[in-house]
Structure 1
């Protein structure tokens, strides 16, 4: 028996990803044309990201035009018109307009600057039509919310910004200036977000497509089933392991759900897990795929661009938080398995040695990728060489050797997978441009700080609410971009100030930083050297002018720590942006899992929301502890207590730990979880919490074992 041949016979429960995300046209001639364009786009982007030296504006315009063409051909304006002659003519006009846009930028950009950036008729027409094309293509792929958001943002700049009073009043720009900044400059739709899209994001999506085509998905599921086969609740852990490993290369929670869920959800239901729980576990685990390095959706690349911290650093500090999240989902699996009497998955007689023997070559491309990144190569270069490693390593397989046809199929699939993401990121660039041009981001950050009363916890709570609201209409990546632009400065300042206040209160502020306080109070040096209360420290810090605070933070905390605090702020926002995947009323990932499990979508969303509680706990740990950027000893302590603390919290929520918990043990377990997770408590308090949890765990395990033995004897 082949260890990697696990895919079940197609059933009514299975969902085809293409059918789930888009409604493709039925014309075979059109499909061949789409295939050819996809190959061309893949080859062109590989060239651009390796040896090409074209201007970034040209590349971004080509990127938008190419993938916009795919969207126009794959997704009709209205499903009812999908094969009508009128629809095809309209789509042909869109394609012609996209091609014309690229040619106009290439041949007429210099003429614009020769005129002193004064628009002529052609500039007005092309820039206006290009923005309208972006709105239409995004509407086809993501619905009306994002186009309406873009329209509101653009009209704010030129129309109604001057009509509103207060902090968000904006005097306005001319339409010509807005069109120039939106279209011709590197700040708008062809700005940094577009650059990230055509470089990092595309290359890693292409890498993921090649991995899937080479059979790596089968290997991941087979490996997960083998590793989890002897575990209590084995099929649930197959979902957790499989979705984590698959998500580390796919970066898409919905794609993760429908690709692994068709296998894991039936497995969990067959083993005895409730159907809604099985769907919720798959949705929660698949959501974690966007938190798992090295891909993390597009988040890691955008975060690296925003923070100016290297991509390698981003994915290295993201690893432990991602591990904690998947463990938290796994704890729900174990608790439910105990309660539902799910012991282990069926033993198919395949050992892990056999799985690795047949599929070890799938590990080679990932090893190549990680090695190249550690050696300092750029992510795009590393991804390009890793694609070659996938092809070469596939030749070691008997069933998935990639010849010319398979290579072309993988390139085409990678381009198709990229199409909706590319159009979306280009369009979101328009919103980001408005935020930076008008200063709305700084205003919003100041308002968040004001509304939260300077409280870090309430600031995170406000960001979480905002992310949920945005997530009802924006995909995760777009939601992170908008929220990161708006609220990251406020979150960064509060985290940095909290660390600065602790140093002031403890008397450990460096002397160079203490000298800054002489500007406000010459007598402060003595108090700073001796230490003070947190209230006194806050009052003293409030006397420092805002212009000097950034200098003070750099001197007190150090440039490296400040950079890690900025990464922490963005990582918190990125994590909170994931909640729309599993939080009703949208929760697309949960809806996908519900369709496979045939469970009520909204109730499945509620279950997934409960099972994904790590999305809220881990960001709080990031904010209040050095979980991002801490030293090895600190990270070890934090990780150990976080693991047991989250397990205790899951048990308290479910009322079950090895056996059913009565009111008093359940309350004690809840208290123990707080003692282990609360960041400001002393080590001895955390140890007491751990001891309480372990005692209740051992008692419950003995009771559970006795019950099982008595049942077996009967």
Structure 2
């Protein structure tokens, strides 16, 4: 099976097809091969023993992968096999090399002049931005370049023309170009650093895994584990996409690589075509939620929150598991309703799969062990790449030789090319947001529109993520939306927890000193507790300058960190909905192409099947699903699983049998009792009992006839 591990989460051109069609010259093809190997080795060196300045590395990262993009993707499809394309790309390659060399050789001269631009500085910085716009246009279309242009012109031009909260006095063009090109805030800032370190190393790790045969192992393992279950082929899609997504991190690539196997399997078993495509799309979308890669989201989240990568992926595991179970419940319900029969599968058994492919687990075990032991993700990924090579020699059929290693490097570099230029370009937008304070303004607006309501804030963020997702890939959408709205969401979640503490009378003594300044008479109530409404009213009287200190004293540093992670995790989850939500749902469209079903109707089906993308973030916001104690996590997981199954049954009107109106109503009550935040444990038990009573009432034996 040929699997892609591209980390981009947008509909990308097929780089192999472009290379074949566009680059007929043997010399260009050989250069791409050699240059890809050079980029891979250079980045491995940089991430292990290299000590170059970060600005230089970021510039090299952009230029290197920009050159690869220029060679792989033409400026326009009409220029395929055209000499004009070769001339254009040659000029781009020279310019890309020039913008890096200029920083290396002329950065000191700029500071020697007191950061005053000369002609060369103007040309180099302007050309660098134009190159980023063109490369992103080639790989992702016009939306992102347009967004970048709007952001840059806002800083120097039209921001001063508008009134209201978004008015900005403006910066000089020289200052903007300096911050965009020469500083570590713009193109070559933190997002670029994440790209050339964490993201590249894990994409390269994924490429080595696929080259070693791990993709076949994942699919074979999924088929051997799930094929005999009720709705087995559907569970193969869920399990296979989850496992593949855990290392690939790309929903579209996940859909294409696993869907060509799982969708025909589901169709053969009797699942409707549109449902089969929807399941694959929903399951592949979940691949970006599954540790350890999470579509680059885990690395960016760690950078934003300053919480360790290991902590991020550890708290992400249970929500991801709940999501895949929610998709699996749709599979079981549809299998029962459509009377899907067991399909004869002459594939290998679980024992045979492990016997022939157990060595594929070794690199993942090495990766997890190194991360848990405290090694950096880049170091862990580098050692795990070596583990892939060594463990492949334990196989009889997929022993990696020198050419396989080179091919894996080439594929990893190609997979990274579009992601690299995208993340570098998004750095320009992030720089504008931080420079102008638009992020804080947007957060205040969200808080104002929602009137302090957490649920309305979540709805607004979900709508914003859907709109952004129509033009931005998921990772870029998360970066932009996280920068804009994470502060507002963090404050609301933190304040809701503080209100609970105040209402219970458990506020620490140090925190009460703040309320002594606001309302001395409230101290007696704080000692014994008050209603949630009274606590909220009292908290609203605290000046904003004191709220940060109050939260620190009341909640503690560890809880504060987990709340920040929760806010970013929610935004990251909601950013995934553009994959399966019409009108632009690229993952669903990719699945529809395989299943030969109407794209938009397939998107609606995938959107229904991916409802966990909305329910589980609600649980994150209102419960300690992220970072709670062991007892809390066990309770939330158990009741969450039952509640999600009940929710699916209510939506479908079917559990183990057709549900009448009374049973459906009772299941709705059970769903609310199981998933409603803060509900008493006894009510959750009643809800679970109600669910199982209806489940057992409709339980029927599953048909065993083979197809």
Query: Would you say the 8 A contact 2:339–2:703 is kept in 1?
Result: no
Match of 1:656 in 2: 654
Determine which of 306, 314, 337 is the counterpart of 1:316.
314
Match of 1:331 in 2: 329
Determine which of 677, 692, 695 is the counterpart of 1:697.
695
Shift of residue 229, structure 1, vs aligned partner: 2.1
C-alpha distance in structure 2 between counterparts of 1:708 and 1:297, whole Å: 39
- Give the alignment's Cα RMSD to 1 decimal: 1.5
C-alpha distance in structure 1 between counterparts of 2:606 and 2:66, whole Å: 33
Asked whether 1:159 is paired with 2:154, we answer: no
Residue 218 and residue 18 in structure 1: after superposition, are their counterparts in 2 closer, same or farther (change >3 A)?
Answer: farther
Q: How does 1:5-154 map to 2 (within 5 A)?
A: 19=14, 23-24=18-19, 25-27=22-24, 28-154=26-152
Determine which of 447, 452, 458 is the counterpart of 2:445.
447
C-alpha distance in structure 1 between counterparts of 2:316 and 2:281, whole Å: 20
Match of 2:195 in 1: 197
C-alpha distance in structure 2 between counterparts of 1:392 and 1:578, whole Å: 35
C-alpha distance in structure 2 between counterparts of 1:19 and 1:695, whole Å: 51
Spell out, residue by residue over 1:490-544, the C-alpha distance to the aligned partner (whole angstroms, 9 max, x if none). 0000000000001101101111111211111122221100111112111211121
Match of 2:281 in 1: 283
Shift of residue 204, structure 1, vs aligned partner: 0.1
Query: Would you say the 8 A contact 1:17–1:255 is kept in 2?
Result: no
Query: Would you say the 8 A contact 1:17–1:258 is kept in 2?
Result: no
- SS of 2:292's equivalent in the other structure is coil
Shift of residue 256, structure 1, vs aligned partner: 0.5
Residue 479 and residue 18 in structure 1: after superposition, are their counterparts in 2 closer, same or farther (change >3 A)?
Answer: closer
Spell out, residue by residue over 1:432-473, the C-alpha distance to the aligned partner (whole angstroms, 9 max, x if none). 000000000000000000000100000000000000000000
Determine which of 559, 562, 579 is the counterpart of 1:561.
559
Shift of residue 49, structure 1, vs aligned partner: 0.2
C-alpha distance in structure 1 between counterparts of 2:93 and 2:609, whole Å: 44
Match of 1:682 in 2: 680
Greater Cα offset, 530-539 or 401-410: 530-539
C-alpha distance in structure 2 between counterparts of 1:322 and 1:571, whole Å: 11
C-alpha distance in structure 1 between counterparts of 2:166 and 2:347, whole Å: 65
Residue 62 and residue 20 in structure 1: after superposition, are their counterparts in 2 closer, same or farther (change >3 A)?
Answer: closer
C-alpha distance in structure 1 between counterparts of 2:240 and 2:343, whole Å: 14
C-alpha distance in structure 2 between counterparts of 1:696 and 1:134, whole Å: 58
Shift of residue 22, structure 1, vs aligned partner: 6.7
Q: How does 1:422-501 map to 2 (within 5 A)?
A: 422-501=420-499
Residue 367 and residue 424 in structure 1: after superposition, are their counterparts in 2 closer, same or farther (change >3 A)?
Answer: same
Shift of residue 17, structure 1, vs aligned partner: 8.4
Which runs of 5 or more residues in structure 1 are unaligned? 1-5, 9-15
Q: What count of residue pairs does the alignment treat as equivalent?
A: 696
C-alpha distance in structure 1 between counterparts of 2:183 and 2:419, whole Å: 21
Query: Would you say the 8 A contact 1:7–1:263 is kept in 2?
Result: no
C-alpha distance in structure 2 between counterparts of 1:359 and 1:311, whole Å: 28
Asked whether 1:370 is paired with 2:368, we answer: yes
C-alpha distance in structure 2 between counterparts of 1:350 and 1:476, whole Å: 36
Asked whether 1:407 is paired with 2:405, we answer: yes
Query: Would you say the 8 A contact 1:240–1:329 is kept in 2?
Result: yes
Shift of residue 417, structure 1, vs aligned partner: 0.2
- SS of 1:532's equivalent in the other structure is coil
Match of 1:419 in 2: 417
Spell out, residue by residue over 1:662-694, the C-alpha distance to the aligned partner (whole angstroms, 9 max, x if none). 111111112211110001210111111111110
Determine which of 350, 356, 373 is the counterpart of 1:358.
356
Asked whether 1:597 is paired with 2:595, we answer: yes
Query: Would you say the 8 A contact 2:214–2:360 is kept in 1?
Result: yes
Shift of residue 610, structure 1, vs aligned partner: 0.5
Greater Cα offset, 659-668 or 89-98: 659-668
Spell out, residue by residue over 1:105-158, the C-alpha distance to the aligned partner (whole angstroms, 9 max, x if none). 000000000000000000000000100000000000000000000000000000
Spell out, residue by residue over 1:12-51, the C-alpha distance to the aligned partner (whole angstroms, 9 max, x if none). xxxx986389733241332221111111100000000000
Spell out, residue by residue over 1:532-557, the C-alpha distance to the aligned partner (whole angstroms, 9 max, x if none). 11121112111211111111101100
Shift of residue 351, structure 1, vs aligned partner: 2.1
C-alpha distance in structure 1 between counterparts of 2:16 and 2:558, whole Å: 42
Match of 1:176 in 2: 174
Match of 1:621 in 2: 619
C-alpha distance in structure 2 between counterparts of 1:196 and 1:398, whole Å: 37
C-alpha distance in structure 2 between counterparts of 1:7 and 1:668, whole Å: 47
Query: Would you say the 8 A contact 2:15–2:73 is kept in 1?
Result: no
Match of 1:577 in 2: 575
C-alpha distance in structure 1 between counterparts of 2:347 and 2:121, whole Å: 68
Shift of residue 401, structure 1, vs aligned partner: 0.6
Query: Would you say the 8 A contact 2:12–2:139 is kept in 1?
Result: no
C-alpha distance in structure 2 between counterparts of 1:417 and 1:48, whole Å: 19
Shift of residue 344, structure 1, vs aligned partner: 3.0
Match of 1:634 in 2: 632
Shift of residue 594, structure 1, vs aligned partner: 0.7
Shift of residue 346, structure 1, vs aligned partner: 1.9
Spell out, residue by residue over 1:276-312, the C-alpha distance to the aligned partner (whole angstroms, 9 max, x if none). 1111100100000000000001100000000000000
Query: Would you say the 8 A contact 1:233–1:343 is kept in 2?
Result: yes
Shift of residue 347, structure 1, vs aligned partner: 3.5
Query: Would you say the 8 A contact 1:22–1:75 is kept in 2?
Result: no
Which runs of 5 or more residues in structure 2 are unaligned? 4-10
Spell out, residue by residue over 1:164-207, the C-alpha distance to the aligned partner (whole angstroms, 9 max, x if none). 00000000000000000000000000000000000000000000
C-alpha distance in structure 2 between counterparts of 1:55 and 1:218, whole Å: 40
Determine which of 524, 527, 530 is the counterpart of 2:528.
530
C-alpha distance in structure 1 between counterparts of 2:473 and 2:533, whole Å: 41
C-alpha distance in structure 2 between counterparts of 1:7 and 1:227, whole Å: 21
Query: Would you say the 8 A contact 1:231–1:343 is kept in 2?
Result: no
**Which aligned segments of 4 or more residues in structure 1 are displaced greater than 6 angstroms?**
none
Determine which of 301, 306, 313 is the counterpart of 2:304.
306
